[in-house]
Structure 1
């Protein structure tokens, strides 16, 4: 959206330019080889000004260009992620919010697009038991009924992770959720919670783990209604998933993992903020072991690894850096080394790669790398509400979250 025209940038490309012309153009200006013409126009303006070309500092303008481009036109490399388009839009939209650049987003168009992915209870899948949001327009499967009307198939249902992404985008863009089918989503949460307290993403996918539990908890906070979650069972599941070395697995008895650890702690944090009767987190889990496990995940290179004996990876600046922030001890990690690692994974075209040696950025690691810089309090970046994975200013617009934070003194980390 809002891509500058060729006249704005004085770019030597026309509508009749051939692919050969485009390839030569990207080589001449050292642009990513997979760019479309519209994205080339934006990048060329940046490169002509020769701004932020050095590798040793935060490339704000290039990051703005990268995420704006990602929101407008995904490269063909993302075709396999079509069913996750809503989550990709969350990465790009929330990133632009962190960069204080929401003026680049066509807000009303984006909000309308998100609502177009909502699965409503009327004629919904499985009798309206799996409402929420689907991940992409392309996964809406319809059939033609005998009376000539289109009816959804049973496989057209909401997905917990996509519902989280949709509500996060709407919160970032300042929507009031007036068109969200709240009751249907809450009813779906009750259907998706398993006897052990975990959650499945859909009724057709019985893979339940910590990721979807976090999505359910975050959805409850964003909708300011906890009637869809049995928090007692959820807490019991989280507590059972803490491992002998202090981290959390996706399921009980599985190896501790950085992403699962974030989902577990963020969920516990939100639950105890909502219901202070659970007491301090130290009453529920072994906080000392958790602190040690998280701090030991920082590698000599400065980045965080997701598990022991794994290489450091950009995205864990959020998963583990965010966990340390929730525990209020992020100052204990080596922040200078973390910054150096993130800069080494920063692409000359904006965004971040998974590993420093990778040439091209990707949207997931670009978003979580940017979150890492927010964690490090990079000047000009909006602070994050790590409990929800969106900016603090977006989270503060949510009545349920802002009310919980006002009374957060009741929920201590340790006692």
Structure 2
């Protein structure tokens, strides 16, 4: 059980410098997110180019090239429209997720953010906070209000907007840019009876949204208040730990002759029985004496199979709850390294899938850095900001201009 360190590095370098497979054409509008995945992955692996190199300069400049004149970042040069009558085109709209990815990637690259239009982005955060306390994907503009009726607030976009504020706000001496009390109320409304978070009150809890809720509470400095409220810590910890799910056993394949010889009814019945058995194998069962536990990752909801990305969403949530020791990190490490790590580098979404993808390749590495690095080659990861913990320390120690107080 080991990390293919060199292959992991080469995978992300290929994605960053060598171009992406044709399947990624449909994601071009969010190219900045893909750039963030690889830059942060290489930071976690201590393999970013040196600050005085041309590659480093190219990466930093390519991110700043996507900054909107009024503040914030677009996802791709594809949506950068020409200036109209001396003003930014009204259809050229930055987003909070892309702004979050840009700032996080620049911090990972140890850029001092001196070229960021700080006031413009902070103003967009302030103006974009809705009445319910959350944020939508797009900055508030007349076109967005007209076309999307203002948009729908979402925990994912709220976490991104608050992460931007946390990076930009330095020592948090300028809280006029954010109404923290309304953020807390929004988070409370999104909590479920089992202590985690859903897209709205009364809906089913989800591990990804739970991460967004906990990270938002952590970044505004009100984690204890949010988590220790009506539902308390215990229910959230119990729900998250319960998402650890063993990998199914490999099933023996029957010969074609046996399948052809079965009557139709018997074959259907056998298929149903195998389906039921497969479902049972995805459940965590009490450990039997003498039974060796299988690798066990995390699922996003009850009844679902383990998925690489949830090793991070659940792992980071447990990190913030200081409850990582209550799950079996050794089995999760085996799930990632033996189940979803690809032989060409990167990670797949599920065990046995063909090719890796950038999202799961980044989150697989990030999960291995929680709650502290499980593997010597990987840095410890800060769960709330989803970048290397030492990059966060560099920022707070004065690496970013407005933290130099």
Which bracket does the TM-score occupy, shorter chain normalised?
A: 0.7 to 0.9
Q: For the structure 1 residues 186 and 70, does the alpha-carbon distance in structure 2 shift closer, same or farther, using more than 3 Å as the test?
A: same
Deviation at 1:285, TM superposition (A): 5.0
Q: Would the aligned equivalents of 1:395 and 1:401 in 2 still touch at CA under 8 Å?
A: no
- Indicate which of 61, 78, 102 corresponds to 2:6: 61
- Indicate which of 347, 360, 371 corresponds to 1:352: 347
Aligned to 1:91: 37
Give the secondary-structure state (helix, strand or coil) at the position aligned to 1:142. Answer: coil
Aligned to 1:333: 327
Aligned to 2:133: 197
Alignment map for 1:14-413 (pairs within 5 Å): 56-72=1-17, 73-103=19-49, 106-121=55-70, 131-142=71-82, 152-202=88-138, 203=140, 204=144, 205=148, 206-224=151-169, 225-272=174-221, 281-283=227-229, 286-301=232-247, 302-343=296-337, 344-375=339-370, 377-399=374-396
CA distance in 1, matches of 2:47, 2:397: 26
Deviation at 1:398, TM superposition (A): 2.2
CA distance in 1, matches of 2:84, 2:217: 45
CA distance in 2, matches of 1:400, 1:311: 41
Structure with bigger RCO (C-alpha 8 Å, 6+ apart): 2
Unaligned runs of 5+ in 1: 1-55, 122-130, 404-415
Unaligned runs of 5+ in 2: 248-295, 401-405
Q: Would the aligned equivalents of 1:90 and 1:169 in 2 still touch at CA under 8 Å?
A: yes
CA distance in 2, matches of 1:402, 1:323: 27
CA distance in 2, matches of 1:143, 1:174: 31
Deviation at 1:228, TM superposition (A): 2.5
CA distance in 1, matches of 2:210, 2:79: 30
Deviations 1:115-164 (A, max 9, x none): 1111122xxxxxxxxx300000011123765xxx7x54211021000000
Give the root-mean-square deviation of aligned CA atoms: 2.2
Deviations 1:313-358 (A, max 9, x none): 1001110011111111111111121111112101010000000121
Q: Would the aligned equivalents of 1:82 and 1:136 in 2 still touch at CA under 8 Å?
A: yes
CA distance in 1, matches of 2:130, 2:168: 21
Give the secondary-structure state (helix, strand or coil) at the position aligned to 2:35. Answer: helix
Deviation at 1:401, TM superposition (A): 10
Give the secondary-structure state (helix, strand or coil) at the position aligned to 2:160. Answer: helix
Aligned length: 332
Q: Would the aligned equivalents of 1:86 and 1:165 in 2 still touch at CA under 8 Å?
A: yes
Deviation at 1:279, TM superposition (A): 5.0
CA distance in 1, matches of 2:101, 2:301: 26
CA distance in 2, matches of 1:326, 1:133: 28
Q: For the structure 1 residues 402 and 195, does the alpha-carbon distance in structure 2 shift closer, same or farther, using more than 3 Å as the test?
A: farther
Give the secondary-structure state (helix, strand or coil) at the position aligned to 1:78. Answer: helix
Q: TM-score, normalised by structure 2?
A: 0.78
CA distance in 1, matches of 2:306, 2:157: 25
Deviations 1:16-74 (A, max 9, x none): xxxxxxxxxxxxxxxxxxxxxxxxxxxxxxxxxxxxxxxx3211110000011111111
CA distance in 1, matches of 2:209, 2:4: 30
